[in-house]
Structure 1
């Protein structure tokens, strides 16, 4: 899953995660006026701004360092086309990347990786 990928490659621990169905995730969705019943995209919050779809993906890979950071060059592709591609990949994600039977929980050496797991939001 995307959460597993981020935890594995975010050596600087820049990103905190929240399942959209969790209390913390629902609070973020409400704060930004987003639907609280559809969970079909990645969201990234930076500097009080929320980004979704391809822009969220590019902001994550930019924060992961090399070689992932090189994918930021995809920003030259117009956003509507990037989002169209993002949607196609998202719809086929289980076929492309597999499905996990259980949810992601933070590794013991990564306390505070999920919003709400340390009392903060």
Structure 2
């Protein structure tokens, strides 16, 4: 396992994936404490983070979150983020489902995300309220 990342509560996402950009907006809207910050994998910071944890920045197959000094990937990442949001703590019960059962569903969506949800040519441009929470360099 690579060494810890120096920042915490960072969500790494595919910035050209429409589904992933909607995920970021979903989290940002519900994260009233503004705990989480976001970085597209296409940014300098996001690329460094991805490479540090062995994610191919040119063909990402997972989102990731650094939380509590630990990196989480795939369904663990999504559940970790959701469980930290107000009124979403109930999703912790889904950790009882083994990753061997959760991740195939995650992988199916991840593999087909561009085909199902689309892809933009450039990273999402955050609005003013989100811009301060996006790390790019």
TM-score if structure 2 supplies the norm length? 0.70
Select 1:11's aligned residue among 24, 32, 39.
32
The answer to whether structure 1 residue 114 and structure 2 residue 134 are counterparts is: yes
CA distance in structure 2 between the partners assigned to 1:93 and 1:30 by the alignment: 21
Moved more, 99-108 or 18-27: 99-108
CA distance in structure 2 between the partners assigned to 1:95 and 1:76 by the alignment: 30
Task: Work out the number of aligned pairs and report it.
Answer: 115
C-alpha deviation, 1:105, in angstroms: 2.9
Cross-structure match for 2:43: 22
Provide structure 1 residue ranges, at least 5 long, that are not aligned to the other structure: none
Cross-structure match for 1:63: 84
After superposition, the Cα gap between the structure-2 partners of 1:63 and 1:42, relative to the gap in structure 1 and judged at 3 Å, is same
Moved more, 54-63 or 32-41: 32-41
Say which structure, 1 or 2, has more relative contact order (CA 8 Å, 6+ apart). Answer: 2
C-alpha deviation, 1:92, in angstroms: 4.3
CA distance in structure 2 between the partners assigned to 1:86 and 1:69 by the alignment: 20
Cross-structure match for 2:100: 80
Provide structure 2 residue ranges, at least 5 long, that are not aligned to the other structure: 1-21
Moved more, 40-49 or 51-60: 40-49
The alignment partner of 1:109 has SS state of helix
